[in-house]
Amino acid sequence: MKPLDLIDLERYPISDLESAVAQRVIANAREQIAAMGAAELSGFVTPEGVAALVADAESLAERAHPSGGVGTAYLELPSDEWPSDHPRQTWMNYGVRAVGYDVIPFSSPLRQIYEAPEVSAFIEAVLNRGPLFHYADPCGALNLAVMGEGDELQWHFDQTDFVVSLAIQDADAGGDFDVVPRIRSAENENYDDVRRVLDGSHPDVLTLEMTPGTLLIFEGRHSIHRVSPIQGATLRHVGLLAYDTKPTTVSSELLREIRYGRVTPFDTPPQTWPAA
């Protein structure tokens, strides 16, 4: 299958962005982002495409590097000046396994979708922030995030302006993508409301469906979000497609070490998993 064969081109005619249908899809996605910080494009990948992505994810999952521990909503070490009950000092558990870009073979349908120029052009049109580039990090540009029983991602704000994710497989229970849209802004941290999210008393938590095949374009810098703990034996698979408005941005070596267990990427995707 070619990458565009995996995508529902009738609903999402991304190879003809000037068409009336594409223009409507783009306008609708922009409205969703303005209202809730996220555009949820359900059925972006066809059921046959999802089946191909699931088979691929199942074969890649054993290569995923596990990381876990505790983190804060701000993804940084808090300074001691904050009181111990402050959101910046609130530690939460996380656990996730990641397959890095350098390990994903050229034949992977996930990789083919990421590398299809039509997909990038469509996302660029929706975000409307000028030219977009594939993230330049050899490990971080494209990830398969694998989450199993007990894995979760703590409430956090992203350090990037946007994240594009592709839902591949749901867990039996849990693994929901929960979000409180636009809870903070560049001018106002709104710690009182953030505290309510962290202690479970915030009234306006939205759960986004993320049915397999959904493409989610999400602005996470100002919208706090989490992945709730996974229950059951079925793995949750999500593809994370990274872009940047600059062509040269890469991850720090520390982040690579934590997330992928190595600093130096493979030159080409290895055919067999190297011994540890």
Binding site for ligand AKG (CB under 6 A): 145, 153, 158, 163, 165, 177, 225, 227, 238, 240
Please identify which residue in 49, 213, 220, 239 interacts with Fe ion, judged by CB under 5 A.
220
139-178 binders of Fe ion (CB under 5 A): 158
164 binds, among ligand AKG, Fe ion, none (CB under 5 to 8 A by kind): none
CB neighbour burial string for 143-154, b if at least 16 within 10 angstroms, e if fewer: bbbbbbbebbbb
Total residues contacting Fe ion by CB under 5 A comes to 2
Please state the closest distance from residue 244 (CB atom) to ligand AKG, in A.
Answer: 15
Asked whether 68 and 95 are in contact (CB, 8 A), the reply is yes
Looking at residue 186, the DSSP 8-state letter turns out to be S
6 binds, among ligand AKG, Fe ion, none (CB under 5 to 8 A by kind): none
Asked whether 124 and 39 are in contact (CB, 8 A), the reply is no
123 binds, among ligand AKG, Fe ion, none (CB under 5 to 8 A by kind): none
Please state the closest distance from residue 17 (CB atom) to ligand AKG, in A.
Answer: 26
Long-range (24+ apart) CB contacts under 8 A made by 231-234 are 231/149, 231/171, 231/172, 231/173, 231/174, 231/175, 232/149, 232/171, 232/172, 232/173, 232/174, 233/148, 233/149, 233/172, 234/169, 234/170, 234/171, 234/172
Indicate the SS3 state at residue 193: helix
Please state the closest distance from residue 272 (CB atom) to ligand AKG, in A.
Answer: 28
Nearest-angstrom CA–CA distance, 106 and 12:
24
Please state the closest distance from residue 212 (CB atom) to Fe ion, in A.
Answer: 19
196 binds, among ligand AKG, Fe ion, none (CB under 5 to 8 A by kind): none
166 binds, among ligand AKG, Fe ion, none (CB under 5 to 8 A by kind): none
H-helix or E-strand spanning residue 115: helix 109-115
189 binds Fe ion (CB under 5 A): no
Nearer to ligand AKG, 13 or 162 (CB): 162
Contacts with Fe ion by CB under 5 A lie at 158, 220
